[in-house]
A and B are shown apart, each in its own frame.
Chain A
């Protein structure tokens, strides 16, 4: 009996020790929150990525739209137009070549429309008409393939940039949290409010680091 009551005291003392410890630990802990998406999106790095993504998207959409409007591109014109339109930093010469190809294709499309409504066709007209129809069919398949390629390419690019951005933001958050002596920092997805919010400080650190 004595032994048990002695054990009881030991357990109670041990629990008391834990409570005491957690009490001291809590008062020493410093907790904060951070909105990592905000840090990424508002950072110079994030803004540059968003601009680049928008430009990439527009260039690809414009190319597909042109093909959809004027389908009579031959294979060589299509490839050249794609390569030049999606070039990161096109030269004046590249731009001039794009304009030339587009003008040629628009002219061919006009000719195709004229031939399509012509009452009587010469053998040459018929050959040309057949050629245009073939090009049109071919370009439909090409446009479908390119659309899939572009979607995958853009997705892969966005995924990579997202991972890189988050990684950079984490480094900035860690730097700020360490400097300010935080024990733990929660993401706003876990804790939407914290009396201490490191978002702005982390954003500054990320911009300073880039």
Chain B
């Protein structure tokens, strides 16, 4: 009794479930959605270019730039649509030429050009896939770190305001009379 009296007076311990703070926070939910959008955009881009690989290098660069633009304007969207239609038309032309029994010299030259574009695009797509994968990994790491930092800041804020000596992770201290998880979540959500 005497001991716990001294302890209560001088020290205040709490626990927090930081995973719960992170996963339930508005910030983490938004970041997860952003990450999903970034991944989907790049996946769609690669899928299209893989289906219709007859881009010129200039078209390929423009296609990439416009496709991954974070907030494309109406003009950007129209330009991208036109570019895609051009590439689809080239692809159709390529298929028609391949079926020709006796192509003319010009047609043979065009076929060769299309083949070169296709080969170049295979390498380009390989590089893009690697770059996108790195980009998404970096973004994921950054968002994870940012979310963790925000959650830790929220725990610190609550811990300090409520006069705790130490706040432990619930993983290592499964129970404490004082649990600040809900307060920390509230503090994290209050920051925009």
A positions within 8 Å CB-CB of B? 16, 18-24, 26-27, 31, 33, 65, 68-69, 117, 186, 188-195
Contact = CB atoms under 8 A, between A and B. Distances in A.
Given A26-B10, A192-B156, 16 more contacts: A16-B2, A20-B2, A22-B3, A23-B5, A26-B7, A26-B11, A117-B112, A191-B169, A192-B18, A192-B155, A192-B169, A193-B164, A193-B166, A193-B167, A195-B164, A195-B165
B168 A26 contact: no
Contact of B7 (A23, A65, A191): A23
B177 to A, nearest CB: 16
Contacts of B156: 192-193
Contacts of B155: 192-193
B3 A19 contact: yes
Contacts of B74: none
Nearest to B12: A195
B36 interface: no
A42 B152 CA distance: 17
Contacts of A189: 169
A188 B158 CA distance: 15
B158 to A, nearest CB: 8
A26 B152 contact: no
A23 B3 contact: yes
Interface of B: 1-7, 10-11, 16, 18, 112, 116, 123, 126-127, 152, 155-156, 158-160, 164-169, 172
A192 B165 contact: no
Contact of A193 (B1, B159, B172): B159
A19 B1 CA distance: 7
Contacts of B152: 188, 192
Contacts of A68: 123, 126-127
Nearest to B164: A193
Nearest to A32: B166
Interface centre among B2, B166, B172 (most CB of A within 10 A): B166
Contacts of A191: 166-169
Contacts of B172: 190
B10 to A, nearest CB: 5
Contacts of A24: 3, 6
A31 B12 CA distance: 12
A186 B164 CA distance: 15
A194 B6 contact: no
